[in-house]
Structure 1
Amino acid sequence: MKTKKVTTLDHFKDQHYGLVGSAERDALEAGYEHFKIGAMLHEARLQKGLTQEELATKVGTTRSYISKIENNIKEVRISTLQRIVELGLGGHLELSIKL
């Protein structure tokens, strides 16, 4: 019986996208962070029971802009993200820097 070798996500990324610090790996990681922000906003909006239109109205933007952020089509500025989280969702935005 053959067994499959188990690998970590980091090992997979090393093999397929290069080591941390390489251009291809950095692009992958940056894209993931943008995707993650959109996915987190989408989930939070649904938990609050808001439509994209309702959230947009609360923060003074358009439904289409909220959609673009949630679907990783448009990058969001930190100040806008803070408005969305605090004014639109009633939450608190926390950022961290890891070295």
Structure 2
Amino acid sequence: MKERNDIGSFDAILDEKYGKIGTPKRDEFHREACAYCVGQMISDARKQEKMTQSELAEKVGTNKTYISRIEKGVIEPGVGLFFRIIDALGLKVEIVKPVM
């Protein structure tokens, strides 16, 4: 097998583009990435339930535009709304202490 020299560390790429872990720019990137991932999980679960954004919004007491912005990762819902969304989609949140 031929050795590949073009494979590098993803952390090194992030360090170069956004700064080291703990820097404001890297922290902001991390927050945005998490918001995007959560939005995609909500979008996928909503579609799996064959529910429109409007239907989800009505169930949780908000509007379609707000659900759309959450799904795109533009905004993060507050904790109360997040749990209402999770419940409306038939999901559950499990909070566990990491094993070290």
Give TM-score, length-normalised by structure 2.
Answer: 0.83
Aligned to 1:66: 67
Which runs of no fewer than 5 residues in structure 2 stay unpaired?
Answer: none
**Residues 65 and 20 (structure 1), Cα distance of their counterparts in 2 relative to 1, 3 Å cut:** same
**Residues 77 and 21 (structure 1), Cα distance of their counterparts in 2 relative to 1, 3 Å cut:** same
Aligned to 1:10: 11
Please list, as runs of the form range in 1=range in 2, the aligned pairs for 1:18-33 lying within 5 A after superposition.
18-33=19-34
Higher relative contact order (CA 8 A, sep 6+): 2
Report the RMSD for the aligned CA atoms in angstroms: 2.3
Please list, as runs of the form range in 1=range in 2, the aligned pairs for 1:77-92 lying within 5 A after superposition.
77-86=78-87, 88-92=88-92
Give TM-score, length-normalised by structure 1.
Answer: 0.84
Query: 3-state SS of the aligned residue for 2:21?
Result: coil
Which runs of no fewer than 5 residues in structure 1 stay unpaired?
Answer: none
Aligned to 1:46: 47
Name the aligned partner's letter for residue 62 of structure 1: N
Name the aligned partner's letter for residue 48 of structure 1: E
Query: How far did residue 94 of structure 1 move?
Result: 3.0
**Residues 33 and 91 (structure 1), Cα distance of their counterparts in 2 relative to 1, 3 Å cut:** same
Query: Alignment length, in residue pairs?
Result: 98
